[in-house]
Amino acid sequence: MNYKEQLNTKRLILRAIHPDDWADVYSWAGNASNVRYMFWGPNTEDETKAFIEITTPGKDFLVVLDGKTIGSCGIYPDAKNDTGTLGWILHMDYHKQGYGTELCGELLRYGFEDLKLRRISAPCAAPNYGSCRIMERNGMRREALHVKKFWARVDEEWVDEAVYALLAQEWFDGGCL
């Protein structure tokens, strides 16, 4: 696969995550309100540093806006099946400004055009309306709802997981942005 360490959109730079980025990552990963719909977190400083140690350039990206880090995202290919899974988190100060839609669109483009995947999916907490809309705006369809799939540590409750997906054929046929 043709992995790239940096991707660019109209407003964002998606770049490899480096050890010295830990404080920026911790600003959202350690914030309980920010990770409410995640199956992980809020992270300690040590957990954040440990996460950064296992990130992979070309798969895990820091989201940068005008030189400021505002989130992280990733695409995780399964080469055996020509599929991939997306994930992202933005600092809550940058929600509802179109950045999620923009980075998701770039991850889809990268996955289909550069990595030559045939299918890309993304799970999210079903109550996370923002993430659901990001995927819908990028042409992804909701394919499944897994009832009480994961334990949301912040709210201390079992949360339903929605799964969205898109096929390369749909991407290239213009079924998305």
Per domain, the residue ranges of the chain are 6-172
How far, in Å, are 148, 155, 175 from residue 74 at the CA level? 24, 25, 22
Average pLDDT over residues 83-98: 97
Q: Rg (Cα) of the chain, in Å, rounded?
A: 15
Q: What's the pTM value of the predicted model, to 2 decimals?
A: 0.95
Does the pLDDT value for residue 116 go beyond 80?
yes
Q: What is the mean predicted confidence (pLDDT) over 144-166?
A: 93
Digit-coded pLDDT (tens) for 41-77: 899 999 999 999 999 999 999 999 999 999 999 999 9
Token code pair at residue 76? 């995780």
Question: Six-digit token pair at 64?
Answer: 């940068």
Backbone angles phi, psi at 161, to 5 degrees: -115, 125
Mean of all residue pLDDT scores within the chain:
95
What is the strand order of the sheet 83-90 is part of? 6-8, 12-15, 60-65, 68-78, 83-90, 119-125, 157-167, 141-152
Are 40 and 95 within 8 A, CB to CB?
no
Token output for 88: 């992202």
Report the CATH superfamily, name and number, of domain 6-172.
Gcn5-related N-acetyltransferase (GNAT) (3.40.630.30)
Q: So what's the pLDDT on residue 114?
A: 97
Q: Which letter does DSSP use for residue 139 in this model?
A: T
* The pLDDT of residue 90 is above 60: yes
The yes-or-no verdict on residue 1 having pLDDT over 90 is no
As a whole number of angstroms, the distance between CA 154 and CA 39 comes to: 9
Residue 177 has pLDDT above 80, yes or no: no
Q: What is the pLDDT of residue 2?
A: 85
